[in-house]
Chain A
Amino acid sequence: MEVEAAKMIGAGLATIALAGVGVGIGNIFGNFVAGSLRNPGAAGRVFGNVLLGFALTEAVALFALVIAFLILFG
């Protein structure tokens, strides 16, 4: 196989990490909504933590992006 084509396939494969990140972000916000319906009073206090968890999970997706770029252009 040509190296160029292999690079493209590799970069595409690197984006599989997004499956896990999708599950993670869905989990965070799903549980936040479920929790805040049970106890609306606490919703405001934990929202900062929700955003922190979201940012930490999103970062995993971006690590995958960095790997994809490294494969493509590195």
Chain B
Amino acid sequence: MASPLEQFEVKPIIPIEVGGVDVSFTNSSLWMVAAIVVATVLLTVGMRGRAMVPGRMQSIAELSYEFIANMIRDNAGAGGRPYFPFLFTLFFFILFCNLLGMIPYSFTPTSHIIVTFAMAAVVFIGVTIIGIAKNGVGFLKLFAPSGVPIFLLLILVPIEIISYFVRPISLSLRLFANMMAGHTMLKVFGGFVISLGIVAGWAPLLFIVALTGLEIGIALLQAYVFTVLSCLYLHDALHPGH
């Protein structure tokens, strides 16, 4: 039987090579493009009517706008408003990468750490630049919480600095590991169905149905968590004094 990790293999669809570097259009790129197309179509077609009383499609678009706008207001404060387009795009890209990956025989781009790490690195570098640009040297207050005795600062500052630089790793690893673990688990239980056959195979099959529901929940939850944490990091950059 095939290994449960076989589904994560990146296969080139259109091989392209530029200057000795492999930049092929792979199945990963195909599903990333699909995620962008689905999200764009959903939102633009949904908002085409611009009705005063929204229909179903328009409600989805308006509710998702409000959902992200509220998330930014609650977690990043009023100063987070200019970054709405980026966070909205981030949320929808991750969400549709995760959700389209739940279709059988499809591919989940977010199950590869390089994809999630690239997104986390963009968030981390962007937030750091915003923090320095907005606060200058005051940004360093982030690493030294106010009202702490001086001898405690000796321990606290290194911890704060380490926890700041671990952020992109934990942010990317969380999304990647969730997606990979979920899909591997589905595949392993799929293997149980085959090996137990028609007699006892229905038991893991029922479990797979429940797991698929859970995985769709996790797809939503992880997109939410990634965006909320980006909002919280943005809040730190905008208001570094704890």
Contact with B along A35-74 (1 / 0, CB 8 A): 0000000000000000110111011001101100000000
Interface size on A, residues (CB 8 A): 11
Across the interface, B173 reaches (CB within 8 A) one of A54, A56, A62, namely: A62
Across the interface, A65 reaches (CB within 8 A) one of B170, B177, B224, B228, namely: B177
Instruction: For A58, give the chain B residue with the smallest CB separation.
Output: B178
Are A51 and B224 in contact, with the CB atoms below 8 A? yes
| B222: Cβ under 8 A from any A Cβ | yes
A65–B170 CA distance with the chains assembled, in angstroms: 14
Question: How large, as a class, is the contact surface on chain B?
Answer: 10 to 19
Q: Which residues of A have CB within 8 Å of B177?
A: 59, 62-63, 65-66
Secondary structure class of chain B's binding surface, majority of residues: helix
Q: Which residues of B have CB within 8 Å of A59?
A: 170, 173-174, 177-178
Are A52 and B225 in contact, with the CB atoms below 8 A? yes
| B181: Cβ under 8 A from any A Cβ | yes
Across the interface, A62 reaches (CB within 8 A) one of B181, B221, B225, B228, namely: B181
Are A55 and B181 in contact, with the CB atoms below 8 A? no
Are A62 and B174 in contact, with the CB atoms below 8 A? yes
Contact with A along B206-232 (1 / 0, CB 8 A): 000000000000000110110010000
> Shortest Cβ distance from A40 into chain B, in angstroms?
21
Q: Which residues of A have CB within 8 Å of B170?
A: 59
A53–B173 CA distance with the chains assembled, in angstroms: 16
Q: Which residues of B have CB within 8 Å of A63?
A: 173, 177
Are B173 and A66 in contact, with the CB atoms below 8 A? yes
> Shortest Cβ distance from A52 into chain B, in angstroms?
6
A54–B224 CA distance with the chains assembled, in angstroms: 12
A65–B225 CA distance with the chains assembled, in angstroms: 19
> Shortest Cβ distance from A25 into chain B, in angstroms?
13
> Shortest Cβ distance from A56 into chain B, in angstroms?
7
Are B173 and A55 in contact, with the CB atoms below 8 A? no
A60–B3 CA distance with the chains assembled, in angstroms: 25
> Shortest Cβ distance from B152 into chain A, in angstroms?
25
Q: Which residues of B have CB within 8 Å of A56?
A: 174, 225
Q: Which residues of B have CB within 8 Å of A62?
A: 173-174, 177-178, 181
9 interchain pairs (CB within 8 A)? A54-B221, A55-B222, A56-B174, A58-B178, A59-B173, A59-B174, A59-B178, A62-B178, A63-B177
Apart from the given pairs A56-B174, A62-B177, 18 other A-B contacts in the complex at a CB distance below 8 Å = A51-B221, A51-B224, A51-B225, A52-B224, A52-B225, A55-B174, A55-B178, A55-B221, A55-B224, A59-B174, A59-B177, A62-B173, A62-B174, A62-B178, A65-B177, A65-B181, A66-B173, A66-B177
Q: Considering the complex of A and B, which 6 residue pairs feature the smallest CB-CB distances, nearest first? A: A62-B177, A59-B174, A55-B225, A66-B177, A65-B181, A62-B181
